[in-house]
Structure 1
Amino acid sequence: MPTTKTLREGSTQKRAAILSAARELFLAQGFDRSSVDAVAARAEVSKRTVYDYFGDKRTLLQAVVDTVGRSLTDTIRRTLDDTLTGLPDGADLEERLITFSMRIATDMLGSAEYATLVRLVRTESGHLPYPGYNPMADTPEEAIAERFAAFAAAGLLDIPDPRLAVDQFLVLAFGVALNKFGSANAAEDPRVEPLVVEGVRTFLRAFRAGPVR
């Protein structure tokens, strides 16, 4: 079980160095073969500092996973701000949703951060708080739902439940690629893009407000 002792916040620089060292070792050697001594040596801190900051190795692993999750959530929020801020006109909504989806399929799903999260959650699930542990939880979906709610209020989408609409959008935009190829990473697989684009268009055919186009 993760530690329950009171931990030090300590130096931001040392904390980042420990997390970086742990991430590298967990990916290269796995959790079981990565010692706290090795993490401390790579981070150029004392073993005591690692324990003071994180308590034990399982808590350190969770901290690594949580840090990667926050980074990915920040990427999604930046992408939302870049692509879905303000109220587009009806014709521009499709273009913006496609741009947003393709940015997610490349900048996020094609990133080292995402690859790290997937690998650690899959291979080290027994050392995380519970099976299927997801440090991102529903945060990205909630952020997208806020934008969809604004579009609905402006008469652009007909979605009584914005949060449910987000789940449907994600399935349509990325689900087919995930089912067919096991990944929706458009940065590595050119077959993903047309499926994402058609998924967005299918979503709009179902949920765009006004006459069907």
Structure 2
Amino acid sequence: MENTENKKIRQGSSEKRAKIIAAARDLFLSDGFDRSSVDAVAARAGVSKRTVYDYYGDKLNLLIAVAEETSEAVLELIKQGISDYLREFENLEQALCLFCEQFVASANGSSDYSALIRLITVEAANLPSSFLEKLDNAAEEELIRRFTEFGQTGLLHVPDPEMAVKHFAALTFLLVFNRPGGTGAVEEAQTKRIITEGVRVFLCAYGQPTVHNED
């Protein structure tokens, strides 16, 4: 009986946390962190103000929790792309292009991605620099691990996998995200061109040189 009761309490706690995070995210995005009160978060979540403080301590910790949960969903997009395209493939250039194209399409269609970018952009002054650094590292971690493996198997020459990932991201999907947005077939073609050319430039720098046999 005791285990059943404890299980119910944990489930109820998890549900309350989810409601608080959802309410806080909505308010932080619509009204801003400074103008959002814990009272307003509690009211929207349907819990007491005391519950919010008990779970998160203060409003800053709540903001960090919102950013962390939102970023987790974005990190899953990267992991999914690696699983889909960078595990088994015949052509590395094509695989890297497909990975970037899927990530861009998934991110553009993700409310979590747009929310994370807005939170980081608007609330950067309220987020600790250590958190932002941790977020950057987490976003790169899976690709660093995979690029390291590519180096070990001879597909890439990556003396510094972390720097290689930064260069790869800057030349491909970050370049797409940082340009003015558009819609339709023209935008899709432009995105594909940016990614394709970016991957080729990356491989010129980090790809293993092709050995030509002379007769």
The TM tier, using the shorter chain, reads 0.7 to 0.9
Backbone CA RMSD of aligned residues: 2.8
Offset, 1:174: 3.4
1:134 and 1:207, CA in 2 relative to 1: closer, same or farther beyond 3 A?
closer
User: Cα deviations across residues 8-47 of structure 1 (Å, max 9, x unaligned)?
Assistant: x871110010000000111111122222111111111111
Matches within 5 A, 1:1-213: 11-86=13-88, 88-89=89-90, 92-130=91-129, 133-134=132-133, 136-177=135-176, 181-182=179-180, 189-190=187-188, 191-211=190-210
Unaligned runs of 5+ in 2: 1-9
Partners of 1:103 and 1:185 in 2: CA distance: 16
1:164 and 1:124, CA in 2 relative to 1: closer, same or farther beyond 3 A?
closer
User: Cα deviations across residues 65-121 of structure 1 (Å, max 9, x unaligned)?
Assistant: 1111122112211211111114x34xx111110010111212125421121111112
Aligned to 1:3: none
Asked which structure has the greater RCO (Cα within 8 Å, sep 6+), the reply is 1
2:23 alignment partner AA: A
Give the TM-score of the pair, scaled to structure 1: 0.82
Offset, 1:193: 2.1
Partners of 2:130 and 2:67 in 1: CA distance: 14
Higher mean C-alpha displacement, 33-42 vs 102-111: 102-111
1:23–1:64 Cα contact (<8 Å) kept: yes
Higher mean C-alpha displacement, 17-26 vs 159-168: 159-168
1:102–1:186 Cα contact (<8 Å) kept: no
1:110–1:187 Cα contact (<8 Å) kept: no
Partners of 1:199 and 1:178 in 2: CA distance: 13
- Equivalenced residue count is 201
Unaligned runs of 5+ in 1: 1-8
- Rg larger for: 2
Structure that is richer in helix per residue: 2
Partner SS state of residue 135, structure 2: coil
Structure 1 stretches of 4+ moved >3 Å: 174-179, 182-189
